[in-house]
C-alpha cells in the first residue's frame, strides 16, 4: 500500500501563555497521585527532564538515566519553579504535587506529544536508523522530497533544519521535549529524522508514528552502552515497531542484520523495499557501471552520483526507494540524487599543492573506516596516510578492527587523540602506543596532538598521496591543541594558509 503525501501545511505559533492542565497532559499515563491533589486545577506552561531548563509553571519529569538519576535534582527543579514532579521512585512530602509512574522515559514522549498537541498529525515523518550512513541518507531523502515540491525539515547529527532555518544540534536525536517542540514549531510538510540507538533506548521518539523507516546497516558500536550486538539490534528495531500499519520500510539487504529486519517485517505483513547488489532486490546497485536496476520499472537508470563510494550509492538507492514507495516522481528524484553534493565532514576533500588530497570524514567505526579508505584507494591515491584515534570511555571492542582496516587499506597510519571523554591524556597515549607497538608491519606511529598529527602527515606525504583524517568529521574538538583550531576542517584550512573563519563561510554555501 502506497503512502500519499498530504501537502496541507498547518501554521502553528507557540503563544507565550501556552499552557494546559496537568490532568490533560497525563492522559494515557498510568500514575499514582501521591498527594491526592486536584490535577484539573494545576496549569503547566512547559515541561522538561533537565532541572536546568525548568521555569516557573513547569512540570519536571525525573528520569533515571545512564549517567545520572534525575530524582537527585527534584529540589533544584522545584526551586526553579516546577509546579509538579513526575518520577518513578517512592517519594512524599515534596513542596509540590508528586506523581509516580513506572517509566518516566516513555511517559515523557507521551506527555510532550499531548502538551504540543500531537504535532506530527499533518506531517510525514521519516526515520533513518543504522550504524553508518544515517546522516547522508537523511539529507538525500530531504533532497528528494524538496525536488518533488515538499517543504522538508531535518533533525540529525550535523544540524536541525526547521522551516528552512538551521538550528544547532547537540545530539543525533534530541530529547523528546525538544523533538516535539521542533515539530510543533515546524511548518514543514515532511520531517526526516536520524534516529540513534540511544534515542530509541531512552524513548526520545516515543509516541511518534513513522510513515517511513529506513535501516542502513549494523555493526558493533556503542557496546559500552548496549550489552551485546543482539541488544543493540533489538534497540534499533524498536523504530519499526513505531511504523504506521500502512507505513513503508526500506532495508539494506546486503547487511546481515538488514536481512533479519526484512524477515521480521515480512512476517508482520509490512511493506518492505530492499536495496542490495542482488538482482532480486527492489533497487540493485550496479557500482561498476554507475547504474541502479529498479525492479518495479524493470530497467536500469544512470546512477552517477557526485559522492564517491559504493556505500554512498547504497545510501542513494535507499533514498530512491522512499521516492518509489511513496509514488514520487522518479526522474525528479534521480536528478536530486545526481545533484546531491557532499556534507560537512563526510568525505570532505581539500586539494593541496603537489597533487595531495586531504580527506576529512566522520568515520568512527570499523566499517566506516573501511568504506572511507576503500573509496580513497579507488580514487587517484598513490599512497594513503590515515590519521585517526579512539574515543575515551567508548566501546573498546571495535578498536582492533578499526586498526586492522587501517593497516590493510592505508600505507601508513598515525594514531592521535580523539575525544578523551574524561580519560587522562597520558592513559590514552599509553593505549595508542601499545597498539602501534603490537603492529607486526610497523606501519604506524603516535603523535598525540591531533593538529600536529595532521600537520606532519600532510607535510611528509609524497606528491599524489591522500591524507585521510577520520573520527571527528564536522564535530569540533573537545580539547585545545597546539594550533588552536576548532576542528579537523579548520586545521586543514589553516595549514593550507586560510583563516579558520573559512569554516563558517563554507557552511553557508
173 is in an annotated binding site: yes
Separation between Cα atoms, residue 376 and residue 268, nearest integer Å: 41
* Structural contact between residues 75 and 54, judged by C-beta atoms closer than 8 angstroms: no
Distance linking the first and last C-alpha atoms of the chain: 39
Looking at the DSSP assignment, which residues form a beta bridge with residue 128?
A: 194, 214
Dmax (CA) for the chain in angstroms is 76
Q: At 269, is the secondary structure helix, strand, or coil?
A: coil
* Structural contact between residues 63 and 70, judged by C-beta atoms closer than 8 angstroms: yes
Q: At 493, is the secondary structure helix, strand, or coil?
A: helix
478, with CB counted inside 10 A (0-12, 13-18, 19+), is middle
Of 109, 94, 111, residue with least CA distance to 22: 111
Per-residue cell: 418: 580523539
132 is in an annotated binding site: yes
Q: At 210, is the secondary structure helix, strand, or coil?
A: strand
375 is in an annotated binding site: no
70 is in an annotated binding site: no
394 is in an annotated binding site: no
309 is in an annotated binding site: no
* Structural contact between residues 202 and 216, judged by C-beta atoms closer than 8 angstroms: no
Of 142, 109, 107, 137, residue with least CA distance to 124: 142
Per-residue cell: 500: 579558520
365 is in an annotated binding site: no
Torsion sign, CA atoms 121, 123, 124, 130: negative
204 is in an annotated binding site: yes
Separation between Cα atoms, residue 457 and residue 167, nearest integer Å: 34
493 is in an annotated binding site: no
User: Where would I find the beta strands (DSSP E) of 216-319?
Assistant: 243-252, 271-276, 283-286, 291-294, 299-302
Q: At 286, is the secondary structure helix, strand, or coil?
A: strand
397 is in an annotated binding site: no
133 is in an annotated binding site: yes
13 is in an annotated binding site: no
The annotated binding site is made up of: 51, 130-136, 171-173, 196, 202, 204
Binding residues for ATP: 130-136
Amino acid at each position: 500500500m502506497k503512502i500519499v503525501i498530504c501537502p496541507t501545511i498547518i501554521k502553528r505559533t507557540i503563544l507565550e501563555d501556552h499552557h494546559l492542565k496537568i490532568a490533560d497532559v497525563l492522559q494515557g499515563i498510568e500514575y499514582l497521585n501521591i498527594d491526592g491533589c486536584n490535577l484539573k486545577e494545576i496549569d503547566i506552561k512547559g515541561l522538561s527532564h533537565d532541572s536546568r531548563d525548568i521555569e516557573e509553571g513547569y512540570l519536571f519529569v525525573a528520569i533515571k538515566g545512564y549517567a545520572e538519576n534525575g530524582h537527585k535534582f527534584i529540589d533544584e527543579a522545584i526551586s526553579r519553579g516546577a509546579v509538579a514532579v513526575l518520577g518513578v521512585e517512592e517519594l512524599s512530602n515534596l513542596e509540590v504535587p508528586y506523581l509516580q509512574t513506572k517509566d518516566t522515559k516513555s511517559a515523557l514522549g507521551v506527555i510532550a506529544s499531548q502538551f504540543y498537541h500531537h504535532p506530527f498529525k499533518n506531517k510525514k515523518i521519516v526515520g533513518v536508523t543504522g550504524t553508518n550512513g544515517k546522516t547522508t541518507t537523511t539529507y538525500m531523502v530531504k533532497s528528494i522530497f524538496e525536488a518533488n515540491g515538499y517543504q522538508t525539515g531535518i533533525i540529525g547529527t550535523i544540524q536541525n533544519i526547521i522551516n528552512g532555518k538551521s538550528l544547532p544540534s547537540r545530539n543525533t536525536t534530541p530529547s523528546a521535549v525538544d523533538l516535539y517542540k521542533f515539530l510543533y514549531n515546524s511548518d514543514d510538510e515532511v520531517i526526516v529524522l536520524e534516529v540513534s540507538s540511544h534515542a530509541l533506548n531512552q524513548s526520545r521518539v516515543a509516541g511518534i508514528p513513522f510513515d517511513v523507516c529506513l535501516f542502513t546497516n549494523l555493526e558493533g558500536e556503542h557496546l559500552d552502552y548496549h550489552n551485546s550486538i543482539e541488544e543493540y539490534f533489538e534497540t534499533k528495531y524498536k523504530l519499526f515497531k513505531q511504523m504506521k500499519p500502512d507505513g513503508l520500510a526500506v532495508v539494506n539487504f546486503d547487511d546481515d542484520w538488514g536481512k533479519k529486519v526484512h524477515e521480521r517485517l515480512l512476517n508482520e505483513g509490512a511493506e518492505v523495499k530492499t536495496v542490495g547488489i542482488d538482482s532480486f532486490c527492489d533497487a540493485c546497485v550496479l557500482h561498476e557501471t554507475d547504474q541502479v536496476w529498479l525492479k518495479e520499472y524493470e530497467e536500469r537508470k544512470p546512477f552517477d552520483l557526485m559522492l564517491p563510494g559504493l556505500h554512498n550509492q547504497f545510501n542513494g538507492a535507499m533514498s530512491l526507494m522512499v521516492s518509489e514507495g511513496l509514488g514520487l516522481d522518479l526522474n525528479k528524484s534521480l536528478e536530486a540524487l545526481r545533484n546531491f553534493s557532499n556534507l560537512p565532514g563526510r568525505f570532505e576533500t581539500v586539494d593541496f599543492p603537489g597533487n595531495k588530497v586531504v580527506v576529512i570524514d566522520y568515520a568512527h567505526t570499523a566499517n566506516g573506516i573501511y568504506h572511507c579508505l576503500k573509496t580513497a584507494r579507488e580514487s587517484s591515491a598513490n599512497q594513503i596516510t590515515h590519521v585517526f584515534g579512539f574515543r575515551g570511555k567508548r566501546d573498546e571492542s571495535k578498536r582492533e578492527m578499526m586498526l586492522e582496516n587501517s593497516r590493510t587499506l592505508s600505507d601508513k597510519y598515525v594514531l592521535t587523540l580523539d575525544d578523551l571523554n574524561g580519560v587522562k591524556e597520558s592513559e590514552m597515549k599509553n593505549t595508542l602506543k601499545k597498539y602501534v607497538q603490537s603492529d607486526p608491519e610497523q606501519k604506524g606511529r603516535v603523535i598525540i596532538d591531533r593538529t600536529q598529527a595532521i600537520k606532519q602527515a600532510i607535510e611528509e606525504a609524497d606528491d599524489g598521496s591522500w591524507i585521510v583524517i577520520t573520527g571527528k568529521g564536522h564535530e569540533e574538538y573537545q580539547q585545545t591543541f597546539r594550533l588552536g583550531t576548532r576542528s579537523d576542517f579548520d586545521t586543514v584550512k589553516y595549514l593550507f594558509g586560510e583563516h579558520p573563519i573559512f569554516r563558517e563561510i563554507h557552511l553557508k554555501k
